Structure 1
Amino acid sequence: MAVACTTLDEVRENIDRLDQQIVTLLAERGRFVSQAAHFKKDTDEVKAPQRVEQVVAKVRALSDVVGANPEVT
């Protein structure tokens, strides 16, 4: 939902609101990543470079779909 701000303070308030949501979601994601490590047998499985590449490709594609900068996301 696009919000048309009329002041710089409104822009900053919306950025702060989004930052709160982003950080909360990243923390939730991190907890799932930690859980995934418990299912792996050794450090090589934890590193999982192929899975990392899959995730990066997925996020880059999603960035394109939603109009985000893939280099940033």
Structure 2
Amino acid sequence: MAGYSVEERAAPHSLEYRLFFKDATGRYISPFHDIPIYADAGKDVFNMVVEVPRWTNAKMEVTITVPSRSV
């Protein structure tokens, strides 16, 4: 995702673990509301959020009570 970064907080696999998304200016953003669905001008590549990473059964939840919608 060009122009976006992720900030990790707390230890992975802990209940306190969070991922916060940032735009190119460093502002916290919502991965659902602030990142466009299309990743390219041709509209044939999509951005997506994965709650269950590949080859795992560790489900990640999106926090709906925080404005930035951390994962």
Structure 2 length-normalised TM: 0.27
Q: Which of the pair has more CA radius of gyration?
A: 1
Structure in which a larger fraction of residues adopt strand = 2
